[in-house]
Amino acid sequence: ETGVTQSPTHLIKTRGQQVTLRCSSQSGHNTVSWYQQALGQGPQFIFQYYREEENGRGNFPPRFSGLQFPNYSSELNVNALELDDSALYLCASSSRKRMETQYFGPGTRLLVL
């Protein structure tokens, strides 16, 4: 059984650029959630994907978008990067059951200059 993996581990971008982050879910999991964690804060929910469709969204603007693929891996895309987008981006996978445990990847640290 493989765990959740994310790529890249680190990324530096400049304001206005676009970025794509990737996540491979744990074997057997069909749901992927993305979180943004600013320094010193807890993770904040961005959105969730279940069977390739968005299944819930947090308080993030439309320039944050995502995809889920048939193999349940996922991408997070952020357009028009702003300085405040600098954060650790975490993805978590789970199975579609109530009260399921989410397993997190190691995260991608994004720095926007």
Partner 1 sequence: SQELEQSPQSLIVQEGKNLTINCTSSKTLYGLYWYKQKYGEGLIFLMMLQKGGEEKSHEKITAKLDEKKQQSSLHITASQPSHAGIYLCGANPGNTPLVFGKGTRLSVIA
Piece of the chain touching partner 1 by CB under 8 A; list 11-19, 60-68, 72-80, 98-106 = 98-106
Piece of the chain touching partner 1 by CB under 8 A; list 12-20, 33-41, 61-69, 73-81 = 33-41
42 near partner 1, rule: CB under 8 A: yes
93 near partner 1, rule: CB under 8 A: no
67 near partner 1, rule: CB under 8 A: no
* Burial letters 82-110, b for 16+ CB under 10 A, else e: eeebbbbbbbbbbeeeeeeebebbebbeb
CA-wise closest residue to 94 among 37, 23, 44, 41: 23
88 near partner 1, rule: CB under 8 A: yes
Given 104, 110, 112, 113, the residue binding partner 1 (CB under 8 A): 104
Q: For residues 32 and 68, is the Cβ–Cβ distance under 8 A?
A: yes
Least distance from partner 1 to the Cβ atom of residue 99, Å: 5
Pairwise CA distance, residues 100 & 11, whole Å: 31
